[in-house]
A and B are shown apart, each in its own frame.
Chain A
């Protein structure tokens, strides 16, 4: 006997040793019902053997025990099938299982009865055919009727899941495409409008040197100032799209430069090898930039750190400091960052208890 069943036994019975001797199955942890059923099964088996012995002793002849076997076997089968049906979840599924149990057992009884009439009495026709067909039809009709809601709901769920997957995929594609497009615009600004404006200031500079009248020189200088403003505005625009260092050298270099500029002595641990989509790279960069800006402005921290690493199909970024904490989840530009991260199906978590430092953690799915 399995030692692990001992405690249950002790609780249930006053005399465990006696119980073991007389009711080993019960002692093995079966319920009374299960024990009774197992007894019935055994008695059915023993009866079948007993009848076979009587038939053999009685001089054989017509093999009548087969009919008794059929009856006993049907009882056991019905019991097993009912047990199976009862283990289904309650509701329409269990009701359908019960119906099919009845149909199945009836079908088995019919087929075996026919088999015996064929073997023992030489029946010519397969007489249960119509009955079987009727049973199967009735079972199917009931199943359809009982389960139609579930079928419809399941179909609805499948459609919904497919739609969610489609929307997730297309949204991500849209965000990724948008980021790539923005980078292209930044390149175009750099090589196109900005370069032409620089060429313009250069030509204006050459013109200024040739101009003899002071008012002409002044006009040219004004024109140059306007061109310079335009260049500056384009530069700010391009920098807002993607900081040059990020575009040129990627996330880690851009973050290192940022931290150096802020003079926080930030520890940077970067361990990422996967190539990052521009959308993911930009989102990670702007989160880190915002977090470090907040640290420099508000935290009065002694230490700050940035960690960039690869998770399972995600980029993990965390920025923390040991400053005064108390950052509001929706303040300090965090709401915009959260929107940016969530557009990529990422997550942003902020922990900033008063006096307990600030920790921002972001996970960004990639690929």
Chain B
């Protein structure tokens, strides 16, 4: 896998590069700002771009805008946006109409190296990975239509959050330290409570959850 990184803080950028190289991911270019990222993508044709939301010169949402622009130019490019905070509005914008190959994670998720590398591979392969904080934020809102949500148990909420990260049943089971059978049971209950269409495939399942949370447009039936 060939990756470009856009991160303005050298400390983090170098740490990331080292981490990726150790895990046999090739970092083909590094950028410090939005235009630099677009040039790197044009020049190196990577599979995946890892982008910090806040980049110079404005340190606001430059990275996000650059990531969206990069996706517009190359729809098949995987983009993983890293940030120190999650904003559901950013998640929605990033996903847009093209849900394939999008990731939006808090920066500290790099600490769980195996899960992080796994997420990189899924995004590069066209999957969708949203930080569990997005789900937490959406569930925390005092929502007028939240009648279904209070009925979720704490465990079901955790499962929902991990599903948004695009994890497989076994990965969810490992993360929560329960058996895969227990996870399946939670998921079945969850889908029944939220009235979601059951689907086996991880990616479609993520989209169903995100559509329910209104982060992504509803997937066409079938």
Contacts and interface: CB of A to CB of B under 8 A. Distances in A.
Interface of A: 187, 190-191, 194-199, 201-206, 208-209, 224, 227-228, 231, 235, 238-239, 244-245, 247-249, 253, 256-257, 260-264, 293, 296-297
B108 A228 contact: yes
Contact of A205 (B9, B90, B113): B113
Given A198-B108, A206-B113, A235-B84, 9 more contacts: A197-B108, A199-B15, A201-B111, A202-B111, A235-B85, A249-B61, A257-B88, A263-B144, A264-B144
Contacts of B142: 262, 293, 296-297
29 contacts: A187-B59, A190-B54, A195-B11, A198-B110, A199-B15, A201-B108, A201-B111, A202-B12, A202-B16, A202-B110, A205-B112, A205-B116, A206-B113, A209-B22, A228-B108, A235-B85, A238-B85, A245-B90, A249-B60, A257-B87, A257-B88, A260-B92, A261-B88, A261-B143, A262-B142, A263-B141, A263-B214, A296-B143, A296-B144
A199 B18 contact: no
A202 B15 contact: yes
Interface of B: 9, 11-12, 15-16, 18-19, 22, 54, 59-61, 84-85, 87-90, 92, 107-108, 110-114, 116, 137-138, 141-146, 214
Contacts of B84: 190, 194-195, 198, 231, 235, 238
Contact of A253 (B89, B108, B214): B89
B9 A227 contact: no
B213 to A, nearest CB: 10
Contact of A204 (B87, B111, B144): B111
The 4 closest A-B pairs by CB, nearest first: A201-B111, A248-B60, A257-B89, A296-B142
A2 B213 CA distance: 78
A231 B107 CA distance: 10
A249 B58 CA distance: 11
Contact of A228 (B12, B19, B54, B111): B111
B144 A262 contact: yes
A206 B22 contact: yes
A187 B8 CA distance: 14
Contact of A263 (B18, B89, B145): B145
A260 B145 contact: no
Nearest to B142: A296
B147 to A, nearest CB: 11
B135 to A, nearest CB: 12
Contact of A244 (B11, B87, B144): B87
Contacts of A194: 84
B89 A201 contact: no
Contact of A206 (B12, B19, B108, B137): B19
A248 B61 contact: yes
Contacts of A296: 141-144
B144 A206 contact: no
Nearest to A203: B15
Residue from the set B15, B89, B145 with the largest chain A CB neighbour count within 10 Å:
B89
Contacts of A209: 22, 113-114
Contacts of A196: 11
Contacts of B137: 261
A197 B145 CA distance: 37
A195 B107 CA distance: 9
A205 B11 CA distance: 15
Contacts of A260: 88-89, 92, 214
Contacts of A224: 111-112
A199 B12 contact: yes
A256 B113 contact: no
A202 B144 contact: no
A202 B19 contact: yes
B111 to A, nearest CB: 3
A361 B146 CA distance: 28
A262 B92 CA distance: 15
A239 B85 contact: yes
Nearest to A248: B60
Given A198-B107, A244-B87, A262-B141, A191 B113 contact: no
A228 B92 CA distance: 25
Contacts of B113: 205-206, 208-209
A300 to B, nearest CB: 8
A238 B111 CA distance: 21
A244 B61 CA distance: 9
A260 B93 CA distance: 13
A244 B89 CA distance: 11
Contact of B12 (A195, A244, A247): A195
B14 to A, nearest CB: 9
A346 to B, nearest CB: 26
Contacts of B214: 260, 263
Contacts of A208: 113
B123 to A, nearest CB: 18
